[in-house]
């Protein structure tokens, strides 16, 4: 007899672990599974999966960081944790129900132990000069330099490993099980559950659904793919870095909040806005860039990173489908990411590059150098979103609780549902959404 779980959760990254925690705490039987191994905290991420996972993309040499292991990208993230502004959620088209995030935000912040630093005076001044404000860094950190890793959650300790979800089996408007491949035994398996939660991240969640018996064209599965547009520069200044002491938990880190497309005076010819993270000054060796100045002078210089993140809205040219010929190591069709840029996107790319340079210039002491680091149109941020977008009034692949419209007992807890990746780091909001998915699944199971 095959066991039927209350819920199966696919993907043990931040989102999958968060949903599983909510369901386990309610006394439900939960099968959390992940395609990769469980690594010891402190281990190094397996190198082959740091950069690519058999995804193909056109329109640029995209370099999406991936981790196939319990914990997912929480092995790589920097722990920056900001709430999205209500007006930004509205502007991006979040369904009314999904915008009610305050309680879920509070729950996640407590769970992760989010703390706030102090804003250095120079960032406060620069933000004022460009008509914005500097917010302190808010971070989910296990130690001053290590971000919280989902692997440390007790739900993650129970996750099944080396188990790749292939597709969802369906009967009418319901899913009956997830078909998986056990990589160790090289055996297929059907994991039965009353409720199914997908949290494998947007490209992979889309691949699972595109391989299931779901009318992808009708529900827009794979459509509305987006990612942050990112530009970075490093400001090199001929002054040694200040001591850390007395400057709070994240010395020299702040967010200069979105200052474009927020009012009539700031209107630009693209829809999204962008925020800028600043961090430093730190020593050059701590960023691995000591070769940028003569060896004897390294101690006399410091570096500040200026990093802008732009909110890219969906576009018909950007979507994910399955490659007709290419297959991955397990004979699955490879997801193909179409990344066309519109004139509006190019205008944003130009602006965010210029904003980084202007902010660096405003801070620079005489003799400084500004060095470009990351070109917005050439590399993704690793914050991809969309492919199963939420919408109001029957529009979109999912409703405001992340429940698939095509299958009544399937929810999506990852960034696939997000209409845009937002104008700042997205994971706190993703975790708040995952928490709401947990509540919706509990309600649904209790009502049966």
Ligand X SMILES: Cc1cc2nc3c(=O)[nH]c(=O)nc-3n(C[C@H](O)[C@H](O)[C@H](O)COP(=O)(O)OP(=O)(O)OC[C@H]3O[C@@H](n4cnc5c(N)ncnc54)[C@H](O)[C@@H]3O)c2cc1C
If the CB atoms of residues 201 and 305 are measured against ligand X, the closer one turns out to be 201
- Residue 127 beta carbon to ligand X: minimum distance, rounded to whole angstroms: 20
If the CB atoms of residues 237 and 257 are measured against ligand X, the closer one turns out to be 257
Q: Confirm or reject binding of residue 198 to ligand X (CB under 6 A).
A: no
Q: Confirm or reject binding of residue 223 to ligand X (CB under 6 A).
A: no
If the CB atoms of residues 37 and 238 are measured against ligand X, the closer one turns out to be 37
Q: What is the Cα–Cα distance from 421 to 230, expressed in whole angstroms?
A: 12
Q: Interaction with ligand X in 155-194: which residues (CB under 6 A)?
A: 164-165
Q: Confirm or reject binding of residue 398 to ligand X (CB under 6 A).
A: no
If the CB atoms of residues 199 and 301 are measured against ligand X, the closer one turns out to be 199
If the CB atoms of residues 69 and 441 are measured against ligand X, the closer one turns out to be 69
- Residue 430 beta carbon to ligand X: minimum distance, rounded to whole angstroms: 6
- Residue 276 beta carbon to ligand X: minimum distance, rounded to whole angstroms: 14
Q: What is the Cα–Cα distance from 17 to 156, expressed in whole angstroms?
A: 6
- Residue 140 beta carbon to ligand X: minimum distance, rounded to whole angstroms: 8
Q: Confirm or reject binding of residue 422 to ligand X (CB under 6 A).
A: no
- Residue 69 beta carbon to ligand X: minimum distance, rounded to whole angstroms: 6
Among 54, 72, 95, 220, binds ligand X (CB under 6 A): 72
Q: Interaction with ligand X in 334-393: which residues (CB under 6 A)?
A: 382-383
Q: Confirm or reject binding of residue 442 to ligand X (CB under 6 A).
A: no
Q: What is the Cα–Cα distance from 241 to 274, expressed in whole angstroms?
A: 28
- Residue 163 beta carbon to ligand X: minimum distance, rounded to whole angstroms: 6
- Residue 377 beta carbon to ligand X: minimum distance, rounded to whole angstroms: 18
Q: Give the binding range for ligand X (CB under 6 A) out of 77-85, 222-230, 244-252, 316-324.
A: 77-85
Q: What is the Cα–Cα distance from 275 to 108, expressed in whole angstroms?
A: 22
Neighbours of 169 (CB within 10 A): 17
Backbone angles phi, psi at 118, to 5 degrees: -115, 150
Q: Give the binding range for ligand X (CB under 6 A) out of 201-209, 287-295, 305-313, 398-406.
A: 201-209
Backbone angles phi, psi at 103, to 5 degrees: -65, -40
HSE-up (13 A, CA, CB side) for residue 155: 30
Q: Confirm or reject binding of residue 80 to ligand X (CB under 6 A).
A: yes
Q: Confirm or reject binding of residue 13 to ligand X (CB under 6 A).
A: yes
Q: Confirm or reject binding of residue 73 to ligand X (CB under 6 A).
A: yes
Q: Confirm or reject binding of residue 79 to ligand X (CB under 6 A).
A: yes
Q: Confirm or reject binding of residue 200 to ligand X (CB under 6 A).
A: yes
Mask for 14-53, x = binds ligand X (CB under 6 A):
xxx----------------xxxx-----------------
If the CB atoms of residues 281 and 382 are measured against ligand X, the closer one turns out to be 382
Among 93, 400, 426, 438, binds ligand X (CB under 6 A): 426
- Residue 179 beta carbon to ligand X: minimum distance, rounded to whole angstroms: 11
Among 31, 55, 74, 399, binds ligand X (CB under 6 A): 74
Among 306, 430, 432, 440, binds ligand X (CB under 6 A): 430
If the CB atoms of residues 176 and 427 are measured against ligand X, the closer one turns out to be 427
Among 414, 418, 419, 423, binds ligand X (CB under 6 A): 414
Q: What is the Cα–Cα distance from 40 to 385, expressed in whole angstroms?
A: 29
Q: Confirm or reject binding of residue 148 to ligand X (CB under 6 A).
A: no
Q: Count residues contacting ligand X (CB under 6 A)? A: 38
CB 176 within 8 A of CB 170: yes
- Strand order of the β-sheet with 253-256 is 134-136, 253-256, 274-282, 302-310, 229-237, 369-374
Mask for 237-266, x = binds ligand X (CB under 6 A):
------------------------------
- Interface positions with ligand X (CB under 6 A): 10-16, 33-36, 65, 68-69, 72-74, 76-80, 164-165, 199-201, 204, 208, 382-383, 414-415, 425-428, 430
């Amino acid at each position: 007899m095959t066991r039927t779980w209350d819920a199966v959760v696919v993907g043990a990254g931040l989102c999958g672990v968060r949903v599983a925690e909510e369901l386990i705490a309610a006394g439900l039987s939960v099968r959390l599974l992940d395609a990769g191994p469980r690594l010891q905290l402190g281990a190094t991420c397996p190198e082959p999966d740091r950069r690519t996972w058999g995804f193909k993309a056109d329109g640029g040499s995209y370099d999406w960081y991936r981790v196939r292991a319990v914990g997912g990208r929480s092995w790589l993230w920097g722990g920056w944790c900001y709430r999205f502004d209500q007006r930004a959620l509205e502007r991006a088209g979040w369904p009314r129900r999904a915008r009610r995030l305050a309680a879920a935000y509070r729950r996640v912040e407590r769970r992760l132990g989010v703390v706030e630093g102090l804003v250095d005076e120079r960032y406060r001044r620069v933000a004022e000069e460009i008509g914005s404000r500097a917010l302190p860094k808010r971070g989910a950190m296990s130690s001053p330099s290590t971000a919280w890793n989902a692997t440390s959650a007790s739900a993650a300790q129970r996750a099944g490993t080396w188990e790749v979800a292939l597709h969802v089996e369906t009967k009418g408007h319901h899913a009956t099980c997830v078909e998986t491949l056990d990589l160790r035994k090289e055996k297929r398996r059907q994991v039965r559950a009353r409720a199914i939660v997908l949290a494998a991240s947007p490209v992979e969640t889309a691949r699972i659904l595109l391989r299931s018996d779901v009318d992808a064209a009708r529900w827009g599965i794979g459509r509305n793919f987006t990612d942050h547009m990112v530009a970075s520069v490093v400001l090199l200044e001929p002054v040694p870095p200040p001591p850390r002491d007395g400057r709070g938990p994240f010395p020299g880190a702040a967010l200069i909040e979105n200052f474009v497309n927020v009012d009539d005076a700031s209107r630009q010819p693209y829809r999204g806005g962008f925020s800028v993270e600043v961090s430093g000054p730190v020593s050059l060796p701590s960023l691995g860039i000591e070769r940028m100045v003569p060896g004897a002078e390294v101690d006399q210089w410091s570096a500040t990173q200026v990093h802008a993140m732009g909110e890219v809205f969906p576009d018909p040219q950007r979507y994910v489908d399955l490659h007709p010929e290419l297959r991955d190591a397990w004979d699955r069709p490879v997801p193909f990411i179409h990344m066309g840029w519109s004139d509006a996107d190019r205008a944003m790319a130009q602006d965010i590059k210029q904003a980084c340079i202007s902010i660096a210039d405003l801070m620079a002491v005489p003799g400084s150098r500004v060095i470009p680091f990351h070109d917005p149109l050439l590399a993704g941020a690793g914050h991809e979103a969309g492919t199963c977008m939420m919408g109001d009034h029957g529009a979109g692949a999912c409703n405001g609780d992340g429940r698939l419209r095509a299958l009544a007992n399937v929810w999506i807890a990852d960034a696939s549902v997000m209409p845009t990746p937002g104008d700042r780091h997205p994971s706190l909001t993703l975790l708040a959404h995952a928490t709401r998915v947990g509540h919706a699944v509990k309600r649904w199971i209790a009502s049966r």
